[in-house]
Amino acid sequence: GEDVEQSLFLSVREGDSSVINCTYTDSSSTYLYWYKQEPGAGLQLLTYIFSNMDMKQDQRLTVLLNKKDKHLSLRIADTQTGDSAIYFCAESRMDSSYKLIFGSGTRLLVRP
Amino acid sequence: DSGVTQTPKHLITATGQRVTLRCSPRSGDLSVYWYQQSLDQGLQFLIQYYNGEERAKGNILERFSAQQFPDLHSELNLSSLELGDSALYFCASSAREGGQETQYFGPGTRLLVL
């Protein structure tokens, strides 16, 4: 199937770490992405990871990939109120296109 | 700012009408993707163009069509509009970076069909 699944909602306190999880189904996916969508805004690319990597760190963001379990996670360290948004994971299918298959998005609420 | 522009930002129209959404990709990007974001279907890939040619089709209705022009801007045409076509329509453009095509999204066009 084409499902990419994410939990719908996560609430954390400011300063804590947030971990957003995603599972995907297509083992042929080559790249996995995290996008952020703030209210009324477009999709902002946060980071991506190649499928032969286990981990990628970019400032406050850490992406972990477990290819065996088809599980992807995004950790945001020292979460700030400005991080409140919807986070989408997406997989890239290398068929005739690099179209993205998106999860349903996880709404992150950061409480002061 | 991703460098991808979309117009109009908002569009309100009636059922049965036809609208055209416009996208200008980032400078130098040859690929343009269209996605639809709705409450019930989430974010879905519609269609992709590469350098003027259709490359891939997703869940795009027959009432919808797209094209990419020689200057690489793209238009998505939606006709015989229905209430269920109300959604946010995103365009993305891509360039090859490190062996993969990273997609950068425009701000979207919010379509409301009344």
Structure confidence by residue, pLDDT tens digits, A9-55: 999 999 999 999 999 887 776 789 999 999 888 899 999 998 888 99
Q: What is the average per-residue pLDDT within B21-47?
A: 94
Q: How confident is the model at residue B24 (pLDDT cuts 50, 70, 90)?
A: very high
> Quick check: B55 and A97 CB within 8 A?
yes
- Structure tokens, B98: 């490190």
Q: Which is it for strands B5-7 and B19-24: parallel, antiparallel or unpaired? A: antiparallel
Exposure string of A18-56, with b = 16+ CB inside 10 Å and e = fewer, is bebbbbbebeebebbbbbbbeeeebbebbbbbebeeeee
Mean pLDDT of chain B: 93
Among the listed residues B41, B72, B47, the one whose alpha carbon sits nearest the alpha carbon of residue A97: B47
> Quick check: B55 and A100 CB within 8 A?
no
Asked if pLDDT for residue B98 goes beyond 70, the answer is no
- Chain B residue numbers with beta carbons less than 8 Å from the beta carbon of A31 are 100
For chain B, give the longest Cα–Cα distance. Answer: 45
Q: What is the average per-residue pLDDT within B10-32?
A: 96
Q: Does B25 touch chain A (CB under 8 A)?
A: no
Q: What is the pLDDT of residue A96?
A: 60
Alpha-carbon distance of B8 to B22, in angstroms, equals 7
Q: What is the average per-residue pLDDT within A103-108?
A: 96
> Quick check: B90 and A102 CB within 8 A?
no
CA angle B55, B59, B61 (to 5 degrees): 100
Q: What is the average per-residue pLDDT within B87-101?
A: 84
User: Who contacts B1 (Cβ-Cβ below 8 Å, separation ≥6)?
Assistant: none
* Angstroms from A94 CA to nearest CA on chain B: 9
User: What share of chain A has pLDDT > 70, as a percent?
Assistant: 94
User: Who contacts B84 (Cβ-Cβ below 8 Å, separation ≥6)?
Assistant: B38, B113
> Quick check: B55 and A41 CB within 8 A?
no
- Structure tokens, B42: 């989430």
Asked if pLDDT for residue A1 goes beyond 60, the answer is no
> Quick check: A43 and B105 CB within 8 A?
yes
Would you tell me which residues 83-102 of chain B have a C-beta closer than 8 angstroms to some C-beta of chain A?
90, 92, 94, 99-102
The minimal CB distance from B90 to the residues A43, A96, A98 is found for: A43
> Quick check: A45 and B105 CB within 8 A?
yes
Q: Which is it for strands A9-13 and A106-111: parallel, antiparallel or unpaired? A: parallel
